Amino acid sequence: MAAPPTLTQRTLWHSKTNSWLTSDDLEFAGASKFSPTSGDRLRVEAIASLISLGTERTVITQTLPTATATQMRIPYMQGDFSEQFTYGYSLVGIVIEGPEQWLQKRVHLLHPHQQFAEVSIHDAHLLPDRLNDDTATLISNMETAVNALWDAQPAIGDCIAVFGYGLIGTLVALLLQRVPGVNVHIVEPDVSRAAAAIKAGFNTSSSVPENKITDITFNTATSDQALQAAIDCTGYEGTIVDLSWHGAELSTLKLGGSFHYDRKRLICSQVSNIPASRARRWDYTRRKDLVIALLLDLQDHLAIDKTISFAEAPEFFNSLRQHSPEERSVVIRYQD
C-alpha cells in the first residue's frame, strides 16, 4: 500500500532576539474523516494572516507585563513567552480536511502564523464569498473597533476626536463616519497616515486644534503624550476611550486639572470580552457576524498597506524588533 501523501508544515517561531521558520512533514488523509475520534476537527490551509503590528512587536520583544502573559496567549499557541513561541492573530484559510460539509470552505481563525492549522470546528467561522481574503484578515481588528464604539456610545451630532490613524484608528473612524451628524477629527502627526485620513474624508491635524473640545475622544496611539492630549481636549463629563496596549511601560498622566474638575471619564476598551451592557444579548458569534457585515460594507474603503510572503516573515519580524513600522496593516500571504 502506498504511503499517504505528506504536507509541509511551515511554522513561524520567535524568541526575544530572533524569528525563524521551521518545516515539518504532516500526513495528509485527503478524506472527510480527518479525525476518526472526533467529528469536530478541521485542518485548514492558510491563505493569509494579519500581523497585529503593535501587539506582536510588544510580544516578540517581551515587553509585556509578566502578570498579563497568560491573558496574552492565543488559541493554538506553542511554546512559552520566556523562551521560544509561536504567535499570530487573525488567520484566513481553506478547509482541506474535516467533515464533508466544511471541505473547501474559507474560514477565519484566531491562530499563530502557520501554513496548516488543526482546529476545532467551534473555533472556525465560515466566510462569505463576497469578502476577499485580505479584508477578512481584518475581522479581529474590527471586533476591537466595534467594542470601542459600544464602550463609548457615540450619539447623533457628537464631536469626536480619534488620536492615531493606524489600523485600529482607521476602523474606529470609518465606523464613526456612519453615525449621523457626528464630526470626526483625526489627530495624526505621521505625514503618510495623515494623508490617508484626509483621503478618506476626515478633518485631520498633527496636533489638537486650539480650543478643540470633544464629547468623546478615542486614543489608539500607544503614547502618554497622545493620551494626555486626548484627556485635555475632552469636554465636561466627556469620555476618553483608550484602546492602546502599553505593555510593561509605565505611564505618567496629569489628572489633577480638568480631568478631575470636569468629571471626565477615562475607560479602557479591550476586545476579549463583550461589554456588560450587551453581554446578556450578544455572544462572540453574533459579534463576528456583525463585523463581517461591516467589513463587506467598508470593503471598497479598506486596503492593506503591505503584503509579504511567508518566507519573508522572519526578516519582517526581525526588522519589527528594531523600529515601529510605517505601514498601518501588513498581511502574510502563504501561497505567494
pLDDT at 37: 43
Give the length of the chain: 336
**pTM for the predicted model, two decimal places:** 0.92
Is 90 exceeded by the pLDDT of residue 29? Answer: no
Q: How many CB atoms lie within 10 A of CB 74?
A: 17
pLDDT of the residue at 251? 83
CA separation, residue 67 to residues 34, 70, 71, 150, 247 (Å): 38, 7, 8, 27, 10
Per residue in 151-209, pLDDT (tens digit) is: 999 999 999 999 999 999 999 999 999 999 999 999 999 999 999 999 999 999 999 98
pLDDT bin (cut points 50, 70, 90) of residue 4 is low
User: Cα dist. 189→6, 74, 171, 173, 217 in Å?
Assistant: 50, 32, 18, 16, 16
Structural domain 6-137+304-333, CATH architecture: Alpha-Beta Complex (3.90)
Average pLDDT over residues 47-62: 92
Q: Give the residues across from 161 on adjacent strands.
A: 185, 217
Q: Report residue 112 as a C-alpha cell.
A: 499563530
Angle between helices 284-298 and 139-152 (to 10 degrees): 100
Whether the Cβ atoms of residue 305 and residue 328 lie closer than 8 Å to each other: yes
- pLDDT given at position 108: 98
The CA radius of gyration of the chain, in Å to the nearest whole number, is 21
β-strand pairing of 125-126 with 90-97? unpaired
Does residue 36 carry a pLDDT above 70? Answer: no
**What local confidence, expressed as pLDDT, does residue 38 receive?**
58
- The ranges assigned to domains in the chain are 6-137+304-333, 141-277
Cell of 336: 505567494
- 50 or 244, which is more confident: 50
Q: Please, what sign has the CA dihedral across residues 243, 327, 132, 42?
A: negative
CB 45, CB 96: distance < 8 Å? yes
Question: Bridge partners of 119?
Answer: 42
What's the CA gap between 256 and 97, in Å, rounded? 59
pLDDT confidence band for 71 (50 / 70 / 90): confident
pLDDT at 7 over 90: no
Percentage with pLDDT > 70 across the chain: 95
- Annotate 204-257 with DSSP letters as a single string: EESSPPTT--EEEEEE-S--HHHHHHHHHHEEEEEEEEE----TT-------SS
Q: Say what the alpha-carbon torsion angle 46, 52, 163, 232 is, to the nearest 10 degrees.
A: 140
User: Architecture of 141-277 per CATH?
Assistant: 3-Layer(aba) Sandwich (3.40)
